[in-house]
Structure 1
Amino acid sequence: MSAWLRPRSVLWTLLFVTAASLALGLAAGSSGWGFTAPEIVWQIRAPRVLAGFGAGAALALSGALMQLLTRNALADPYVLGVSSGASVGALSAMLLGALGSAAWWSEWGVAAGASAGALAATLLLLSLSWRVLARSGVSGVQEAPVSLLLIGVMIGSAGSAVVTLLLTLAPEAQLRGMVFWLLGDLNGATHWVAVWLALAVALALSWPWAHQLDWLARGDAWAATLGVPVERRRRQVLVASALATGAAVATGGAIGFVGLVAPHALRMLGLRQAPWLLPASVLAGGSFVVLADAAARTIVAPVQLPVGVLAAAVGVPSFLALLLKGPRGAAR
């Protein structure tokens, strides 16, 4: 590995990219680039940038954790179905018709609904997977990752069906806002504290045991012989990933490809060990969303595009390029 691809060098580069992306995010506005009145920068742009960075960082961290947990480099944060639960909760809040009747509901209603939906999906996921995780915790049986994927797909499919029903029943006056939210939209996303707290908790649940997550990714039997409490670590990763995903979706909607592309790109750069991969994913995912949102605000200004559209436009070709150019052994 060349010197510039050493983990420490990559982290320093990511810190520089993070600082630059935050500066660009503060300079981007619907009227163009540049710093205008201080109150606009600090009261409107700064909260949006912090919310976008927190959402992107949480999604990238969740993606890295899910790839370790399922031993699949193509896994992403939405594989658990938590995002579908958050979508159901948010759209239900919009459909209640109370968004315009009270100022506090207009400000907090969608985030509260998304958080409640994500919590319900997480509890359902934990209850359904509890027996599977307990059964295969230290026995070396390799069925737990597959079972988790199947449970997540089931919850996600059920949530998607409910989302389709809600969109069908929605009045035209609210349909545009609901669709924009589903595409991933940071317009009005000023509540950044919750996603940053969720990100901190997710890191606290995963990063101190990052070496054990590497061993767990090599197989249950291997990790158990090294003294890893397999069942406990799986549940920690599951809770951390669900918490980060739920908070991110509640903050900025269903922004896609961040949790898939960021960890995969970092592995291509040589960051395959979890102690380096997890913090690097936080920086890369947060920077990616901030830059995508800056472009979404300015590319067709004064019209603001959903950040999820830009994320997909960049994420799909980037991931295909990484997949085609990368070595065969790039994924675990």
Structure 2
Amino acid sequence: MKSPANTSNQDLVLAYKYPWDKIALGIVVILICAVSGVAVGSVHIPITSVFLILFSKLDLFNESGELTSAWHTIIWNIRFPRVVLALLVGASLGISGATYQGLFKNPLADPYLIGVASGASLGATIVFLSGIPFTYGYFSLLPVASFCGGIVAVFIAYLISIKSGNTHLSTLLLAGLAIGAFATAITGILMLRSDPDLRPLLSWLMGGFIRAQWSHSILIMPYMIVGVSFILSHSRILNTMQLEGYYAESLGVNIEKSKRILIVSATLVTAAAVSFSGLIGFVGLIAPHIIRLLWGTDYRTLLPLSGLTGAAFLILADLTARTIVSPIELPVGIITALVGSPFFVYVLLKTKGSTIDGY
């Protein structure tokens, strides 16, 4: 009888060459997307002027008045912060999506699947509808509340999934779905019973970067660095976890400890991203699948390239959202849903009739 671990999975733990060439290609793609995101908008600014403004901010060019102050403001204070934030959020969602898919051995897994997004939206809704001031200068309570809501939702799902000291991932998945549905219901009830103008909250719930500031990118980076570092350090273990449990344990992998570390790390990264971008779906589903189709399932390659792909995808989605019906700006979540929904159906049909494990 053939081992549940097929040949390709067994090869994942053998000699490996880090994909620096693919990483470099991904960085080039991101730079092209970022330049497009900064240069294109309702106000046309030549690309040469964009570079001159950036160089002047880095003290690499002494701008002598040829460029208008309005262009400086648009590039440095509006477009550039949202491109950087979209890059960080997209990378976070791409890496966490690949992590969840590896943990659950499920190609349909997504960072929002275990209640992170619904918990985050409930936390933000409670603060918004409480009547207390939630903005203090450049500081806002909404990201903090959404972060806490996402963490609490996953923590409850995690407690439910623990049985006899072991974490049952299928139970965690179902518990996350149930808690997410419950949090969504509570959010709906709170919104129906409230009177204030809900447009700012609805805008946040649909996702976007219209209020992006440099401070947001600075605040998200510590959480992202910590979470992504733990995830990348467990990429080899994620490869081993694709084998059956007893095969993985025979290779010296502490499955339960690795599950906990990866779940906490992926949730930390996702909750931090959601707290500043709002609810943007499908990035964590699309990015890992593109990399799998192109370069295989080795998580040492899949994780970093999923992050780069998620970053490029979300920068382009944000660019599309603010230019497709300019001067009206669409929520980024609408654009990702338009792309992600048919992609989800494609993945669903592709996996239909086959086992999820070893996809």
Asked if these proteins are the same fold (TM beyond 0.5), I'd say yes
| Identity value in percent | 34
In 1, the alpha carbon distance for the partners of 2:135 and 2:345 equals: 44
SS in structure 1 at match of 2:295: coil
Aligned length: 316
Rounded Cα–Cα distance in structure 1 between residues aligned with 2:202 and 2:135: 22
Which aligned pairs between 1:134-145 and structure 2 lie closer than 5 A?
134-135=165-166, 144-145=168-169
TM-score, normalisation: structure 1: 0.87
Q: CA deviation at 1:112?
A: 1.6
The aligned counterpart of 1:22 is: 34
The answer to whether the aligner puts 1:126 opposite 2:162 as a matched pair is no
Q: TM-score, normalised by structure 2?
A: 0.81
Structure 1 residue corresponding to 2:242, chosen from 202, 214, 217:
217
Deviation at 1:317, TM superposition (A): 3.2
Match of 1:77, SS state, is coil
Taking a change above 3 Å as real, the CA distance of residues 128 and 320 of structure 1, as seen in their structure-2 partners, is closer
**Distance in 2, Cα, partners of 1:326 & 1:164:** 33
Shift of 1:302: 1.4
SS in structure 2 opposite 1:80?
coil
C-alpha separation between the residues in 2 aligned to 1:239 and 1:133? 20
Aligned: 1:116 with 2:140: no
Structure 1 stretch 292-301 or stretch 118-127: which is displaced more? 118-127
Contact conserved, 1:32 with 1:298, CA < 8 A, in 2?
no
RMSD: 2.5
For residues 322 and 149 of structure 1, do their structure 2 counterparts lie closer, same or farther at Cα, with a shift above 3 Å needed?
A: closer
SS of residue in 1 equivalent to 2:131: coil
Distance 1:253 1:85 in 2: 12
Which residues of 2 match residues 146-295 of structure 1 at below 5 A? 146-171=170-195, 173=197, 175-190=198-213, 191-295=216-320
Q: Residue 172 of structure 1: CA displacement?
A: 5.1
Alpha-carbon distance between aligned partners in 1 of 2:275 and 2:260, rounded to the nearest angstrom: 22
1:89 matched residue in structure 2: 123
Q: CA deviation at 1:97?
A: 3.0
SS in 1 for 2:113: helix
More helix by share: 1
Specify whether residues 29 and 96 from structure 1 end up closer, same or farther in structure 2 by C-alpha distance, changes over 3 A only: farther
Whether the 8 Å contact between 1:30 and 1:303 is mirrored in structure 2 is no
| Contact persistence 2:317–2:332 (CA under 8 A) | yes
Tell me how far 1:323 sits from its aligned partner.
Answer: 6.4
Q: What does residue 53 of structure 2 align with?
A: none
Deviation, 1:329, is 9.4
Structure 1 position 310, deviation (Å)? 0.8
Is 1:296 the equivalent of 2:306? no
Provide the rounded CA distance (Å) in 2 between the counterparts of 1:282 and 1:221. Answer: 30
Deviations 1:283-304 (CA, angstroms, capped at 9, x unpaired): 1111111111011111111111
Q: Distance in 1 between matches of 2:313 and 2:35?
A: 13
Match of 2:108 in 1: 74
Structure 1: tracts of 5 or more residues without a match: 1-5, 137-143
Q: Which residue identity does 1:44 align to in structure 2?
A: I
Give, in whole Å, the separation in 1 of the partners of 2:256 and 2:118. Answer: 25
Taking a change above 3 Å as real, the CA distance of residues 322 and 121 of structure 1, as seen in their structure-2 partners, is closer
